[in-house]
Amino acid sequence: MTDRSSVLWRTVATPIILVVGLLVIAYLTWQFGSRPFNRTVTEMFIQVMMVVGFYVFVGNSGVISFGHVSFMYLGAYMTAWLTIPPFMKSVTLRGLPDWVLQTELSFWIVAPISALFAALFALLVGRIIMRLSGIAASIATFGLLGLVNNVYSNWDSVTGGQGSVVGIPPIMTIWIGWLGAAIAIAIAYLYSISRSGLALRATRDEEIAAQASGIDIVRERWIAFIVSAFIIGLAGALYAHFLSVVSPSAFFLKMTFIALAMLVVGGMYSLTGAVVGVVVISGLIDVLKRLEKGIDLGIGTLAIPNGVQEIAIGLIMIGILMFLPTGLTRNQEWTWTGWPFGGGSKGS
């Protein structure tokens, strides 16, 4: 019999609920949704990965990061470099090393490589940035984003500069999207119950007490930074296959702020919050977009003017944060304490 008091046993219901919940969404969409709607949901899964990646760092450390979208760049462009057919990239990306120009690998190999590349980058820069704390660390991550954006926008022979890089095989399906989200949730969960995750959350809640107990803040933040970079790098790889073109303008401020908004609306300090934030915000955006298009009510068409969607999303987010400052989940995890996890049932 498993030891029922272990952390794993008490909390494993959360990732299971989330992953199964997303599976239900995926199945219903695949069964009943139109093709554009399938793409919306696939994109939502990639956003789940991205926001879960943000959560691993922001949620556990309490340090807001504006720089994690740089790992999207790293993942997406690495995927582009390794999956575009050689005859295309040898003309457009001539600055790449020869062996890269000759390589054309499959998605299943390239996606983990892209994620590892992002993690490796985080390993190098994290050592420096993680020494900072509070707002200085946030601004430093923002600087990182600016730096990566500038390199990718201007290194023409390697990244194609401002223009789009084309030729990435469009293999994304809703199921690969779901799988990516499930992997992201699993990694985030395992990290958060790990020794490092617990230690990092201790520093978030009581920094001085945690330090007095012998926790090395810099080291724990550094680990979270690397894990989150891995997840977001993987999201970048999937995003590249999703759009099949990558351009530097896709991964910048808009993406950063929408990801942070989703995380804050859902509940910044909980994994459930990260996932719920994405599902709710993308659901709302989709409903509003349909209203902009107009919905036929038989007696007439109900439509709101173009552009209202962006305003409405802003207002709704303000509303949510006014009444639920800790997010829709109030920073709680969805759990299940019924069978087989023992004791009576209780939702959050």
Partner 1 sequence: MRFVKTFGTLTAVAALWSAPALADEIVVGFATAESGFMQAYDKPAQDAAMIRIKEINDAGGLLGKQIKVVNADTKTDQAEGAKAGLAVLDQGAELVVVSCDYDFGSPAALQAQAAGKVSFFLCAESIKAGIQGVGPFSFSSSVLAAVQGATMSEWAYNKKNARTFYRLLDSWTVYNKGICDGFDWMLPRLADAKLVGEDTFKNDDASIAAQISRIKALPQEPDAIMLCTMMPGAVSAIKQIRAAGINSMILNGSGVDGSYWLNAVPDLSNFFVPVQGSIYGDDPNPKVNEFNAKYKEFTGTDPSSQYVYPGYVLIDVWSKAVERAGTTDAAAVVAELEKMNEEPTLFGPRTFTNEIHHQNRGRYLIVETTAGKPKVVDEWTISEKIPVDYLVSR
Helix, coil or strand: residue 105: coil
Backbone phi and psi for residue 346, each to the nearest 5 degrees, phi listed first:
-160, 120
What's 301's DSSP letter? E
DSSP 179-225: HHHHHHHHHHHHHHHSHHHHHHHHHHH-HHHHHHTT--HHHHHHHHH
Q: Closer CB to partner 1, residue 7 or residue 287?
A: 287
Judged by CB under 8 A, which of 2, 32, 323, 343 binds partner 1? Answer: 32
80 CB burial (10 A radius; 0-12, 13-18, 19+): buried
Mark the segment that binds partner 1 (CB under 8 A) among 23-31, 77-85, 116-124, 209-217: 23-31
Q: Are 7 and 170 in contact (CB under 8 A)?
A: no
Beta bridge partners of 165: 246
Judged by CB under 8 A, which of 12, 17, 312, 317 binds partner 1? Answer: 17
User: In angstroms, rounded to a whole number, what is the distance separating the alpha carbons of residues 13 and 178?
Assistant: 18
User: In angstroms, rounded to a whole number, what is the distance separating the alpha carbons of residues 104 and 91?
Assistant: 15
> Is 164 among the residues that bind partner 1 (CB under 8 A)?
yes
Q: Closer CB to partner 1, residue 129 or residue 188?
A: 188
Mark the segment that binds partner 1 (CB under 8 A) among 4-12, 137-145, 286-294, 315-323: 286-294
Residue ranges in 217-256 that form contacts with partner 1 under rule CB under 8 A: 242-245, 247, 249-250
Judged by CB under 8 A, which of 13, 21, 312, 316 binds partner 1? Answer: 21
> Is 195 among the residues that bind partner 1 (CB under 8 A)?
no
Residue ranges in 77-106 that form contacts with partner 1 under rule CB under 8 A: 91-92, 94
Binding-site ranges for partner 1 (CB under 8 A): 17, 21, 24-25, 28-29, 32-37, 39-40, 43, 91-92, 94, 161-164, 166, 170, 242-245, 247, 249-250, 276, 279-280, 283, 286-287, 289-290, 292-293, 295, 306-307, 328-329, 334, 347
